[in-house]
Chain A
């Protein structure tokens, strides 16, 4: 038999529903596809005609794992349209909220979704049989991230406190400061986590791509900045749609994000963020980054788990700093008046850059919405990397080969639920 097809009908330990299709002819990889069958939920259409105040509540529902990322990109884009400038205090509280989401999302991905692949278990729960201390450490970090989201956002999944212009209510000082001991523990736990995952056996593999992330002169990127690339570019967010586009690729029905001029794919996410913003990591994260035996920028997707660990350190350390110095803003929400306008923003979700663009009318209603999630930006790159990866494991049995492919896909932390821009792929049967 010269032709083989490998199908992973339903990938596991990813958020949302997706499959994988690989077609081999002898040792030649003929086709690789990520098959996305997450049903389309049509967010950009259902936002039209809604009041702009409803937008952060609705876009949160795109993803139960990173609702804050969608809320943040929404409110920044709408504020850009309205011409609202928030205060430094609101800005810090938003960074704090994002720290909470990075912590819960990264801890979930490292311990329950990704690490089991490196130590040979089917799930984080099974992994707990051999690594009980590690799994409990991961769950506890995740809990503290969630706890922060609960105090600042009202609840961990789909927080209610995020408003256009700021927050509905500023948390009391004591409420936030009670988290300080937990975050001090969390910082140590994050350092241990990073050291633990840095010791995993990583395949010697590098993707030939461009890393893309927000970048800010004074801080590690979360809510704002320009778009930086490993090609040395610095692109204003307002030019996003001139520089990046979603395209149809030959032999595939998927919309892939690529660079508009060259048609090249690119990679967003923690690996890109750390690589492009190494010197703006918090002191402990920066120091740890120098100790984990990785040369930055790093193009090995398997090592994304280390970048996620470094960002856990950063999020606990920056979070601690904000918690210790927090004073409630006098005005938690900046007022604004409606006007017909357009605005865009990009922020850094745990799994990479989210871009949103809104047009609103003079009554405050949404006329048009564009939402580009990180996973649709990474999809083209994931397929290209799979093409390069499959020949390395081609001699393996079907089961091992498909498992190896799935492991690689999980390293990108794909969030298929964020399916605003995914197309259903058709399976070619041979």
Chain B
């Protein structure tokens, strides 16, 4: 035994991008790998060790009956469990099935739907187990991930900012794409973490990091309506990578119901 904290990296329905952020931390990778014992990280190593794990990183959403059970097992074996990325924290883009007829979705993609074992919903990990910390983003920010791991290794509770992307644009000195060009932007209601890249690339924020703390969604969508955006377009913009997070879901559903009642 090395006495180092044991790290497990677990995957559910996802694109692998968030756990890849760990491998993509080129400069810090070997240092982090030296500070922990990588006990379970299938994408990186063939050496698989059983639990318990001191730190568990969980990527992906729950979409199959088997996965709904597997996450319980991982929780039992893990001391501090962190969900990483929009799939794990909000159900991911695959949660669009939650508003659709999932059987029809499966039929339209697979020739033999009988072989497909899937739940009708894609849900966040925290809908199934207690989660100790959530790291947002689609994908997560690599520096935030390293910072969270460093905090834990130092015995501190990790902390990430919960203010909106809007504030980051001001800090970066990015001219507001909504004010200057009338481009719809979710920056005022989306949590910081991406470094406000989209507006700096001349496009509106599309909400990869999910709702910020106390987002005023109604006020923002009213503004979109006033500027002439069709209701179904506003609903679609809320229903994307973090569409099933509670705040985006409630506002998207409210607008969808309202627009249905009007037609």
Interface residues of A (CB under 8 A from B): 10-17, 37-46, 48-51, 54, 57-58, 61-65, 67, 104, 108, 112, 116, 122-126, 128, 135-136, 139-140, 142-143, 146, 154-158, 160-161, 163, 168-169, 246, 248, 253, 255, 403, 406, 417, 420-421, 423-424, 426
Contacts and interface: CB of A to CB of B under 8 A. Distances in A.
Interface stretch (B15-23, B146-154, B157-165, B246-254): B15-23
A272 B46 CA distance: 28
A57 B198 CA distance: 12
Interface string B117-144: 1100010000000000000001100000
A422 to B, nearest CB: 9
Contact of B46 (A46, A54, A122): A122
B97 interface: yes
Contacts of B48: 10, 12
Contact of B27 (A57, A64, A143): A143
Interface in B72-107: 92-94, 96-97, 100, 102, 104-106
Interface in B197-212: 197-198, 200-203, 206, 208
Given A13-B45, A44-B109, A128-B30, A417 B236 contact: no
A125 B100 contact: no
A156 B23 CA distance: 12
Interface of B: 11-21, 23-24, 26-27, 29-30, 33, 38, 42-48, 63-64, 66-67, 92-94, 96-97, 100, 102, 104-106, 108-112, 115-118, 122, 138-139, 194, 197-198, 200-203, 206, 208, 233, 236, 240-241
A45 B26 contact: no
10 contacts: A16-B11, A41-B93, A42-B105, A43-B93, A46-B94, A61-B92, A108-B20, A139-B30, A154-B201, A255-B110
Nearest to A48: B108
Contacts, number: 187
Contacts of A139: 26-27, 29-30
Contacts of A13: 42-46
Nearest to B32: A125
B111 A64 contact: no
A424 B115 contact: yes
Nearest to A406: B46
Contacts of A142: 24, 26
A39 B236 contact: no
10 smallest A-B Cβ distances: which pairs? Answer: A64-B17, A123-B45, A45-B105, A143-B26, A64-B15, A139-B26, A46-B96, A39-B13, A41-B94, A169-B202
A160 B13 contact: no
A70 B138 CA distance: 16
Contact of A12 (B17, B43, B118, B139): B43
A125 B33 contact: yes
Which one of A41, A48, A51 has the highest number of Cβ atoms from chain B below 10 Å of its Cβ? A41
Nearest to B17: A64
B109 A253 contact: no
A44 B109 CA distance: 6
A341 B96 CA distance: 25
Contacts of B139: 64, 155, 157-158
B23 to A, nearest CB: 6
